Structure 1
């Protein structure tokens, strides 16, 4: 499995996703922060609103860029978003999902 994940990570690096790396030395998962598409980005909150939590679905599969998803799924692996910022999403890649 380590070779499969290495292949996925190499392809993602060639596409500019350098922030996606193996979780420690564990060979079965990788994670990182990736930029959101322009449609998924949001304006930072200003004023007093910046102190309020935003209620959003951080696990929305639409947060994963299409080219990243296709590389991962081509190998039979799963990519899932676990959180988001205004312009980026935190994703995890694993063999069978989280």
Structure 2
């Protein structure tokens, strides 16, 4: 199922060491489009009720996992943004050479 593949791709991207923001946005958009697409007719699904229930439980667990991973990703992004802003404020306040990373001098451009 395409939704399962999109969800799995999102999990893989969120768990990689350096997630790519554009890919994450594209995968989230793809999942949203699949969720809002017109569903198949009721009689067209050949799975049993037990199989459908098992898939739904699995999908709910995967969704909870994706939400947790996305929260971690957003915290990472916010920390990176805050660190960048702090460095920029420090460089602006103290002029030409500021040690923003211990052992490395950053030059004011």
Instruction: Pick the TM interval, shorter chain.
Output: under 0.3
Larger CA Rg, structure 1 vs 2: 2
> Relative contact order (alpha carbons < 8 A, sep ≥ 6): 1 or 2 greater?
1
More strand as a share of residues: 1
TM-score of the superposition, structure 1-length normalised?
Answer: 0.23
